[in-house]
Amino acid sequence: MSTQHPPIVHTVAALREAVAGWRARRESVGLVPTMGALHAGHRALMRAARARNSRVVVSIFVNPKQFGPNEDFAAYPRPEGADLAVLAEEAADLAFMPGVEEVYPPGFTTTVAVAGLTEGLCGAHRPGHFDGVATVVAKLLIQTAPDSAYFGEKDYQQLQIVKRLARDLDIPVEIVGVPIVREADGLALSSRNVYLSAEERRIAPALYAALRETAAAVAVDPHRAGAILTTAIASLGKAGLRVEYLELRDAASLAPFSGDLSRPARLLAAVHLGRTRLIDNVPVPPG
């Protein structure tokens, strides 16, 4: 049975009109920001929104500001028909699909920059990326004015940045983090997994396996964390994954790991596999 996809709006004005109608009836609104190429990870965000809000808005916008000059903005998958089918299946109430000119009209010059949290990890390797993310997320939160907005732990640093920007800018929204959805073999779902060749796809689950093993080893012996990470980087390299970073951080502040497991810690990684960059992260079990 085919279900109909939700109404699509392309402008901020039409988005606000739809949300205002729900607000007038005191319905709560959840926002799920995405770049499309929707998969089960995005579906988990939509279901989390559905569980807490009576209306679910999904934005689909491939944000040029968060791609570097040598990154995959042009090649990023944009399967609109399949995405609308997912929105129908998940019973989303509205698709917000603005064009680049709607989000960044001529003369647009504002940047939202979250200091500190954006500096290490992915921020160190993708200059300007998190400014692009923070700018578009701030706009989406202001445009939609949802009660809650949903972000995946897959992009763990991004989730912490979004929580901070909402707090710092007094945007009245609850930012909800959603656990990572994985393939049966452990690979975190990502729109970029379509770039993997068959051989690379076979190798890719080694990232999650290494993260889990490494986090478990650190939990047993946190004072040997440095040596444990060095060994893990070497073994990922042997498996065919070139490590961009593999780091232990405080789970909330993202400050470098102090060696003290009485506070929640997180192990985060980015690796290159052929032309594909994969990111993943796991909690470190408490000591």
- Sequence-ordered list of residues with C-beta below 8 angstroms from that of 221, at least 6 positions apart, any chain: 228
Residue pointed to by tokens 């993997």: 196
Check residue 7 and report its DSSP letter: P
42 is catalytic: yes
45 vs 112, which CB is nearer to ligand AMP?
A: 45
Q: In whole angstroms, how close is the CB of 37 to ligand AMP at the nearest point?
A: 7
46 vs 236, which CB is nearer to ligand AMP?
A: 46
Q: Minimal CA–CA distance to 60: which of 114, 103, 1?
A: 103
Catalytic residue among 5, 10, 39, 42: 42
Q: How far apart are CA 83 and CA 196, in angstroms?
A: 20
Q: How far apart are CA 157 and CA 155, in angstroms?
A: 6
Specify whether the CB–CB gap between 286 and 271 falls below 8 A: no
Which amino acid belongs to residue 153? E
Q: What φ, ψ does residue 82 adopt, rounded to 5°? A: -65, -40
What x/- string results for residues 198 through 227 when contact with ligand AMP is judged by CB under 6 A?
------------------------------
**276 lies in the site for ligand AMP, by CB under 6 A:** no
C-beta atoms surrounding 116 within 10 Å: 12
Question: Which positions from 168 through 187 interact with ligand AMP, judged by CB under 6 A?
Answer: 178, 180-181
Q: In whole angstroms, how close is the CB of 111 to ligand AMP at the nearest point?
A: 19
**Side-chain half-sphere of 230: how many Cα atoms within 13 Å?**
4
190 vs 214, which CB is nearer to ligand AMP?
A: 190
**34 lies in the site for ligand AMP, by CB under 6 A:** yes
Question: Which positions from 184 through 203 interact with ligand AMP, judged by CB under 6 A?
Answer: 188-191
Q: At what angle do helices 40-52 and 80-89 cross, to 10 degrees?
A: 40
C-beta nearest to ligand AMP: residue? 152
45 vs 204, which CB is nearer to ligand AMP?
A: 45
Residue selected from 15, 19, 31, 44 as contacting ligand AMP according to rule CB under 6 A: 44
Give the interface with ligand AMP as residue ranges (CB under 6 A): 34-35, 41-42, 44-45, 151-152, 154-155, 178, 180-181, 188-191
- Residues marked active site are found at 42
